[in-house]
Chains A and B, each alone.
Chain A
């Protein structure tokens, strides 16, 4: 069995107010991502998906603090890594795509220069060389006319193009792990489909592992091999994608799946009301008491 690329063990983090007041936000979150694997974290706003990714990137800001647990990346605990070392990893071995490309890009610099910066910082290239590589990177994410587009500022591009620039930037140094935090939420459906296909193809071709965060179960299903469902700071269920969708075991997962209007369901069942999570779950506070974490490779054995 190969060693996991990212191994998060009993991660606990929360808001620290003063010395004694702790407000937990993540409670013993444990999951692994194998090299080249696409892992999806799904859950509603406030369930802790995004802070999990920020913790991996080492981007937690006060008053958020880690209380316990480990984040092992290739066996190295990121939480005890000096800031300098972390900065070398971030953007280089672990890269991130954010939800809103307009706010994540620098409005005062051309996109070509922003991508080139990656090569200068992490690979020690000269600016001239880096800018050529940046044009190439734009071509790789299928931006038409990459040499002309490299001279554009972010505001001159559409949302879909900007997100491609973000992907080009994130994949510039061939990272081992790509964290994508709701990368397509702000996009139109057809553009979303193109961007998802791009992430899927590029990562598969380069063997990049993906931590994909979304509240959209459809997006998760189309891109991830394994899915973790988060609720109130806990990973309540984890399984292979197909097993999770076909045989959800946790009440919350069942509620989440039932709440989703699905294509074709109306032809089959008529205009029914969707499942209201609150109506099938009597006591939300008990939700995190049970967890269903399926072992890897267990999918075949299930009915």
Chain B
């Protein structure tokens, strides 16, 4: 087996929260991410799903190097990406890039598309104007824009086009890993389909690995190879897309899937014989069924991810 492209091992992120105590001097730790481990293979799309505040974005920011992990290691091709011995921002930028959720907010309104796309190239030592021009032109074609549009400014584009520019900017340094943070949730239905198609095409064409953060499970089902379900800083279920969507096991995963407003399910209740309604398997004890929020200021109850099928792991209470 080849080494994974990215390896995250026992990642913890805690934030100090001031407040409490007599003069507001008490300090508590907010446990945002509690021991996340996963691997990302080349060309794979791994989705991290969960609700607001479950730690999925914090995990992504750690991978990007924008959030220092409290504990744990992140390795890219065997080299640590965080902590001592980590490469500088410049090297990391060539490995991992990010596409942001809001294409309106993530582009500099005062920079033309060309300036936005040329800046990373110049920073990375590409100085020949012809090469910069050539790469920008090729990248714009890749994302479905025309080279002439490079002269324009963000406000001259529609939401879908801006997201295309966001994708172009993430890909211009040819990273191997792209973190997609809710890449289509701000877009209209028809535009959303176009961007999803574009992301799938680019993945095949350029051999990209995606880490997609999303709470839209129908998009996740459509795009992912593997899925991590997070609940309050922990992975509660992990598996291939088929395992997660056809045999969801953790109660929280089932709740998430059942909550998707799906026209087919709404019109034919019961007809789909939905996997989420299947009885929970006997003899498994879950720490939390995902219906009540645990206290984020205390370390989580000990529990372990247990493999129930090859590659399909579920968090169960530690057998006491």
B83 within 8 A of A: no
Q: Chain B nearest CB: distance from A223 CB in Å?
A: 8
Which of B101-109, B259-267, B298-306 faces chain A? B259-267
A242 within 8 A of B: yes
B51 within 8 A of A: yes
Q: Chain B nearest CB: distance from A18 CB in Å?
A: 26
A263–B266 CB distance below 8 A: no
Bound CA–CA A278/B159 (angstroms):
15
Per-residue interface assignment for chain A, residues 205 to 237, with 1 indicating a CB less than 8 Å from any chain B CB and 0 otherwise: 000000000011111111000000000000000
Bound CA–CA A273/B201 (angstroms):
9
Chain B residues contacting A263 (CB-CB under 8 Å) are: 217-218, 221, 245, 257, 260, 262, 264-265
Contact of B266 among A188, A222, A256 (CB under 8 A): A222
Bound CA–CA A228/B32 (angstroms):
43
A188–B193 CB distance below 8 A: no
Chain B residues contacting A191 (CB-CB under 8 Å) are: 51
Task: Give residues of chain A (239-282) contacting chain B, Cβ–Cβ below 8 Å.
Answer: 241-242, 245-246, 255-267, 271, 273-278
Chain A residues contacting B2 (CB-CB under 8 Å) are: none
Chain A residues contacting B201 (CB-CB under 8 Å) are: 273
- Which interface residue of B190, B216, B223, B246 has the most chain A CB atoms within 10 A? B190
Task: Give the interface residue-count category, chain A.
Answer: 35 or more
Helix, strand, loop or mixed for chain B's interface? Answer: helix
A189–B266 CB distance below 8 A: no
A193–B263 CB distance below 8 A: no
Q: Chain A nearest CB: distance from B187 CB in Å?
A: 9
B245–A255 CB distance below 8 A: no
Q: Chain B nearest CB: distance from A27 CB in Å?
A: 20
A274–B262 CB distance below 8 A: no
Contact of A189 among B217, B264, B267 (CB under 8 A): B217
A44 within 8 A of B: yes
B189–A260 CB distance below 8 A: yes
Bound CA–CA A189/B51 (angstroms):
7
Bound CA–CA A255/B189 (angstroms):
10
Task: Give residues of chain B (250-295) contacting chain A, Cβ–Cβ below 8 Å.
Answer: 255-267, 272
Q: Chain A nearest CB: distance from B225 CB in Å?
A: 9
B200 within 8 A of A: yes
Contact of A276 among B52, B194, B264 (CB under 8 A): B194
Bound CA–CA A286/B268 (angstroms):
34
Chain B residues contacting A242 (CB-CB under 8 Å) are: 267
Q: Chain A nearest CB: distance from B227 CB in Å?
A: 12
B222 within 8 A of A: yes
B196–A261 CB distance below 8 A: yes
B241 within 8 A of A: yes
CB-CB nearest in chain B for A185: B185
A174 within 8 A of B: no
A80 within 8 A of B: no
Chain B residues contacting A246 (CB-CB under 8 Å) are: 267
Bound CA–CA A196/B217 (angstroms):
18
A45–B257 CB distance below 8 A: no
B138 within 8 A of A: no
Q: Chain B nearest CB: distance from A213 CB in Å?
A: 14
Q: Chain A nearest CB: distance from B290 CB in Å?
A: 9
Chain A residues contacting B148 (CB-CB under 8 Å) are: none
B contacts with A, residue count (CB < 8 A)? 40
Chain A residues contacting B193 (CB-CB under 8 Å) are: 258-261, 274-277
Given contacts A192-B261, A267-B245, contact A256 B218 (CB under 8 A): no
B219–A264 CB distance below 8 A: no
A190 within 8 A of B: yes
Bound CA–CA A246/B259 (angstroms):
22
Q: Chain B nearest CB: distance from A33 CB in Å?
A: 20
Given contacts A241-B267, A274-B196, contact A218 B262 (CB under 8 A): yes
A267–B246 CB distance below 8 A: yes
B218–A261 CB distance below 8 A: yes
A217–B263 CB distance below 8 A: yes
Given contacts A259-B193, A277-B190, contact A221 B267 (CB under 8 A): yes
A262–B255 CB distance below 8 A: no
A274–B222 CB distance below 8 A: yes
Bound CA–CA A188/B51 (angstroms):
6
Contact of B263 among A44, A215, A218, A259 (CB under 8 A): A218
Bound CA–CA A265/B191 (angstroms):
19
Chain B residues contacting A219 (CB-CB under 8 Å) are: 261
A255–B267 CB distance below 8 A: no
Contact of A266 among B191, B216, B221 (CB under 8 A): B221
B255–A190 CB distance below 8 A: yes
B242 within 8 A of A: yes
B91 within 8 A of A: no
Chain B residues contacting A257 (CB-CB under 8 Å) are: 263
Given contacts A221-B261, A267-B242, contact A259 B190 (CB under 8 A): yes
Chain A residues contacting B262 (CB-CB under 8 Å) are: 218, 221, 262-263
CB-CB nearest in chain B for A281: B190
B146 within 8 A of A: no
Chain B residues contacting A190 (CB-CB under 8 Å) are: 51, 255-256, 259
A193–B258 CB distance below 8 A: yes
Bound CA–CA A276/B195 (angstroms):
10
Chain A residues contacting B215 (CB-CB under 8 Å) are: 188-189
Q: Chain B nearest CB: distance from A262 CB in Å?
A: 6
B94 within 8 A of A: no
CB-CB nearest in chain B for A187: B52
Contact of B197 among A217, A221, A266, A276 (CB under 8 A): A276
Give 8 CB contacts A-B under 8 Å.
Answer: A188-B51, A219-B261, A221-B266, A221-B267, A257-B263, A260-B193, A260-B263, A263-B217
Besides the contacts A222-B266, A255-B190, A256-B190, what 6 more A-B pairs have beta carbons closer than 8 Å? A216-B189, A217-B189, A221-B261, A245-B264, A259-B192, A264-B245
